[in-house]
Amino acid sequence: MWSWHITEFEGGRPLLEGLALRLPAAPRGYLHQLIHKGKVHGDGLPLTAETVVRAGMCLKLPASARLAELAAAGGLPPDALLYEDATALVVCKPAGLAVHRAVGHDDNLTARVNGFLALRRAGYRASPVHRLDVGTSGPVLFGKGRQATSRYGNLLMAGQFDKGYLALVSGRVPDEGELTTRVPDGGTLRPALTRYRRLAATASLALLELELVTGRPHQARCQLAAAGWPIVGDRRYGGRPWPGLGHPFLHSHRLLLPALDEDRRIVVGCPLPAALAALLAGSGLSLPEGFAGSAEIPAAARQEWL
């Protein structure tokens, strides 16, 4: 089953147009057939071609090989688009995919996003405002066009963004605290601050929520390892190997960003990937009930008015 929430950008449009924005590689005739056969549901009810979708509505489509093929051709699965408005696009990056093009990373998130927008005939290119490590999953903000990207970049430099992370580490960790060890950045050691809160633990593992107050490269990975709590799967920093896990157990579950030209903040949640959720369950750990960003909570943006 494919499931996603209608964004601010999609709201107020006819259902067919809303579907086409999520599945730009799909022929309109195919989408119309899905609607006509009653396969498109909104908030649990079948929708008709006359339906006007609203922001926050949960759309569901039955999974099929054809739908998976069209989603792949579009560059982004429909549920990977977490938030969108006139200037911003927030996309969930899977672990293993680089944000930018680099040696060995011709396939990257930026290329996928711009391929998606080209199929929409958007008329502009999008650029990432921040980055995540290749092995880290979570939301990445793209500015729509140069001006929006530049403005968001200035807000990022001014400290107006906030990102929350989940990390599974080895060792016994206090309930909460701060990590202040210096980390390498640009060839020198620089100050860094990470706040942590323990969400769950066993005798040898701990699930932490992290707030990276500073944004140094590999900050959380380096500081946690220095504290004696390396991230599971993080071989570079001495993390415990885990069968089937080829990257660190580090996921950005929340991105807070300011809206341009409006006095509001946008909080975008990104559920824990299914593979990491399964690993947690297999290790005897789970997220607290109702925790924002858990696998049971749909990925949806909410707004906090200032």
| Residues annotated catalytic, as ranges | 133
> Which residues neighbour 202 within 8 Å (Cβ) at sequence distance 6 or greater?
283, 284, 285
Query: b/e for 230-269, b at 16 or more Cβ within 10 A?
Result: bbbbbeebebbeeeebebbbbbbbbbebbbeeeeebbbbb
Distance CA 265, CA 155 (A): 12
Terminal CA-CA length for the chain: 36
Distance CA 270, CA 137 (A): 9
Query: What length is written for the chain?
Result: 306
CA 273 to chain centre: 10
CA 10 to chain centre: 19
Distance CA 230, CA 115 (A): 37
Backbone angles phi, psi at 103, to 5 degrees: -60, 125
